[in-house]
Amino acid sequence: MRQHVNPLSKVFNNVEPLPPLKDIFNDYNKPLHLDIGCGSGSFLINLANHNKNWNYIGLEIREKLVNKSKSKLKDESIDNLFFAFGNAEYLIEDCIGKFPANKVSSVSFNFPDPWFKKKHHKRRIIRPQLIHKISQLMANGGYISIKSDVEELFEYMDMTIIGSNLFSTHIYQDSEIFNSYNPMHFKTNRENYVIRNKLTVFERLYKKNLK
User: Is the confidence at residue 2, as pLDDT, over 60?
Assistant: no
Give residue 1's pLDDT band: very low, low, confident or very high (50, 70, 90): very low
pTM score of the predicted model: 0.92
| 38 in a structural domain | yes
Cβ neighbours of 32 (radius 10 Å): 28
Average pLDDT over residues 50-70: 93
Supply the pLDDT for residue 10.
64
Task: Output 16 or 47, whichever has higher pLDDT.
Answer: 47
CATH of the domain at 86: 3.40.50.150
| 12 in a structural domain | no
Supply the pLDDT for residue 169.
97
Give residue 117's pLDDT band: very low, low, confident or very high (50, 70, 90): confident
Whole-number percent of the chain with pLDDT over 70: 94
Supply the pLDDT for residue 123.
79
Angle, alpha carbons 30-210-100 (nearest 5°): 30
Supply the pLDDT for residue 76.
78
| 5 in a structural domain | no
| 138 in a structural domain | yes
| 20 in a structural domain | no
Q: How far apart are CA 102 and CA 33, in angstroms?
A: 12
Q: Which of 35, 75, 79, 113 is catalytic?
A: 113
| 129 in a structural domain | yes
Average pLDDT over residues 2-6: 61
User: Is the confidence at residue 93, as pLDDT, over 80?
Assistant: yes
Q: The domain containing residue 50 runs over which residues? A: 27-208
User: Is the confidence at residue 47, as pLDDT, over 60?
Assistant: yes
Supply the pLDDT for residue 193.
96
| 200 in a structural domain | yes
Average pLDDT over residues 4-23: 75
Average pLDDT over residues 65-91: 90
Angle, alpha carbons 125-127-131 (nearest 5°): 105
Supply the pLDDT for residue 11.
62
User: Is the confidence at residue 3, as pLDDT, over 60?
Assistant: no
| 192 in a structural domain | yes
113 counts as catalytic: yes
Q: How far apart are CA 189 and CA 211, in angstroms?
A: 36
152 in Cβ contact with 41 (< 8 Å): no
Three-class secondary structure of residue 176 per DSSP: helix
Average pLDDT over residues 177-202: 95
Give residue 9's pLDDT band: very low, low, confident or very high (50, 70, 90): low
Supply the pLDDT for residue 34.
98
Question: How many folded domains does the chain comprise?
Answer: 1
| pLDDT averaged over every residue in the chain | 91
Q: How far apart are CA 104 and CA 109, in angstroms?
A: 15
